Every structure is written in C-alpha cells, then in structure tokens.
Amino acid sequence: MRGRRRRYFRAVVPERLRGAAGEDVLVALALALAVQAEVWIWWVEDEQGTRSLAAVLGLAMTVPMVWRRRRPLPALTAVAAVYVTWTLLTPPRGSLAPYLVVLVAVYSAAAHGSARSSWAGLGLGVAAEVLFVARTTNDLADYAFILAFLVGAWLAGRGMRVRQQRADAHFARAVRAEVDREEKARAAVAEERGRIARELHDIISHSVSVMVVQAGAAEQVLDRDPDQVRESLQAIQRTGRDARLELRRLLGVLRTGDGERPEYGPQPGLAQLAQLADQLRSSGVDLAVDVEGPPRPLPAGVDLTAYRIAQEAVTNALKHAAGARVTVRIRYGRDDLDVEVLDDGGPGPGGDGGGGFGLGGMRERAALYGGELEHGRRPEGGYRVHARLPLTAVEA
C-alpha cells in the first residue's frame, strides 16, 4: 500500500515541479525586463549611478529568482547580497525595480520555504532595505513604508504556504482513500474467490462421491438385479442434475459485463438435510439424522454454513470410510448450534484425505461466524467432526 501511495506522489509531484520551474523562469525574466527598462529608460546617472553598472547589478539580482521555489532561501540570500553590494557602491535612489525584486524574493521565501527559512528570509529582506534607506534618505517615513510592504509580502507568502499545505494534505488524504478503496476491493475479491472455491469444492466433492457410491452399487448387481441398476442410474442422473443447478447458481456470481443479471436459486440450509439423507440412503448409504431441540429460523449465513459442514463431513465419510454407518446430529441450543457427524469406521478415517478444501474449508466456514471445529478419531473406532456455531453474536 505504501508503495502505491509513493507512485501516486511520484507521478504528480515531478509534474508540479516541472511547471513551477517554467513559471519561475518567466518571473525572473519579467523582473529582469522591468529592471533593465528602468535602467535604460528612466535612469538618472547623476543620482543613481552609471547605467552599465546598474544594468549588470540588476541582472545579477534577477538571475537567482529562477530558483525562487526550489531553493527559496538561497535565492533570497543571493538577491540580498547583490542588493547590499549595489547599495554600498552606488545606492539606486528612487528606483522601484530593485525593491520589487526584493519583495518578490521575500514573498517566495515565505510561500515556498519552511517556517524557519521564511523568518530568516524576512530578516534578510529587512536588513537589506534598512541599509538602503540608511544610505539614501534615512527618513522615518521611508523606513515605515518599506518595512510595511516587506511585512505584507511576507504575510501573503505565509498565507499561500498554509493554503498549499492544506491542499497537499487534502491530496494525501484523497490518495490514501483511493488506495484504501483499492485494497478493500482487492480483499473483497480474494474473499469472494475463497468462498466460491469452498462452494465449488463442497458441491462437486459431494455429488461426485454420491455418484461413485451409486455407480459401485449398480456394478455389484449389474447381472442379477436390473431394477436396482436402473434405480442407481436414475439416482446418478438426479445427483448430476442437482449439482449442475447448484453450479449454475454459483457460477452466476462470476458472470459480469454481459448486461444480464444472473438468476440465483435459494441457498441450501438445514431444511434440505433430510433431502440429502434420502438421496444418500437411496444409494445404499447407512445414514441417520438426529435433531435435538426445537428447530428455529437461523441467519442465512449460519444456516448455509451448518449445511455445508454436515455435507462435507458426510462426503469425507463416504470417501474414507466406505460402508460405515454415518450419523448426523443437529443440536439447537439457546446460544449456539452444534453440528456433529460420526461414522463407526471403515477402510480409512473419515478425515480430509489429503490437503484439499475439506477440513480446512469447514474450519474457515465455522470461523467466519465465530465458531469452532473439532475433528479426530473416536476411541471406539471411526471418526468425528464437530462444529459449534454461536447464534447470539450473529442474531444481535
């Protein structure tokens, strides 16, 4: 995130500096033309010194203004040094152009420098102008006039500085907000991908496992019981159709930009658990469903999570404990919901069977709603998966 913010500033700040450099050159050129026009048109050599010396010193005063934003205090220092030299050699009495250069330099130091450098710049400007008045008229009114305009230029510069800092702060906040929005959007996409991956795993794994069991049952009675084979094949068809409908509903989330809204079917829940049990029992699976406590409406997310955990645990039992008796227990407590799936053993444990989305997906689903998942071998044989989902925090 910080790297993206830096890229934003790198893209904008250099462009701002490039524009400022061009403007500073124009300002320096305008001041140079003003000084030279005064020297070569209105200059009085008897009172103000020779034109050639004034032209050279005037040009030397305006050249540092090219750096008035990038190096405001050094530029003002150079301007003040040339102005003091000019004053000590032949004070430009009655000249306005050199004074205007000093005013712009003081303003620039206040507007584009730090607070400390702006105070230093004001001190340099005041010292240079006090020396000029002392060497020319030494009149109190001139001191007041010159200092008033210097302080005014400095205050205007500080006001511009505060305004620019506020604008930079607003820009920085806008950049942070934009980056935060992108990060949140990216995190939401990643979370949605994980959810879709879990849903796909649960749907495909369960349906394929059921179809494998049914195909195996049909194979065993292929020659002696055609009716049982027909029932198994029909069950395979039903399972495939149900899986296709669920996949179509889920993949509708991924269809964007086609101008059509995807059609969503109802999300499965514990109400469909009996249908799941009937489907498996028709395939020869010894499955029992026990419900303890009065059923009550559940939040949609908890209902879906409980169903998917039960479905995935039963699917694991089919894959890794073939032929075992499977029991699904649903307990409606006052503050939580328990989902427990037990099998009494078989050729393999009813575990994850190898690093897929099985137990990991169940654990993530439970954790999403503040629940916990326990699993492991039973002392009497078989495997147990138990999830506890709190209801109070979700319903509050």
- The reported pLDDT for the residue numbered 181 is 78
Residues 353, 356, 360, 361, Cα dihedral to 10°: -120
Poorest-pLDDT segment among 26-40, 186-200, 231-245, 340-354? 340-354
Statement: residue 78 has pLDDT above 60? yes
- The reported pLDDT for the residue numbered 1 is 47
Rounded-to-integer distance, Cα 152 and Cα 110, Å = 11
Backbone angles phi, psi at 35, to 5 degrees: -65, -45
pLDDT tens-digit readout, 165-224: 888 888 888 888 878 877 877 776 677 666 666 666 666 666 676 677 667 766 766 767
How many residues in the chain?
396
- The reported pLDDT for the residue numbered 50 is 87
Statement: residue 386 has pLDDT above 90? yes
**How many Cβ atoms are within 10 Å of 79's Cβ, its own excluded?**
30
- The reported pLDDT for the residue numbered 258 is 46
Give the residue from 214, 339, 358 showing the smallest Cα distance to 273. Answer: 339
- Cβ neighbors of 4 (< 8 A, separation 6 or more) are 179, 182
- The reported pLDDT for the residue numbered 23 is 85
Statement: residue 115 has pLDDT above 60? yes
pTM comes to 0.47
Rounded-to-integer distance, Cα 104 and Cα 125, Å = 10
Rounded-to-integer distance, Cα 26 and Cα 30, Å = 6
Please state the CATH superfamily assignment of the domain spanning residues 270-396 in this structure: Histidine kinase-like ATPase, C-terminal domain (3.30.565.10)
Percent of the chain with pLDDT over 90: 19
Rounded-to-integer distance, Cα 324 and Cα 350, Å = 10
DSSP string for 327-390: EEEEEE-SSEEEEEEEE---SS-SS-SSSSSHHHHHHHHHHHTT-EEEEEE-TTSSEEEEEEEE
- The reported pLDDT for the residue numbered 355 is 42
Q: Name the 3-class secondary structure at 123.
A: helix
Domain boundaries, the chain: 2-180, 270-396
Q: What is the mean pLDDT of the chain?
A: 79
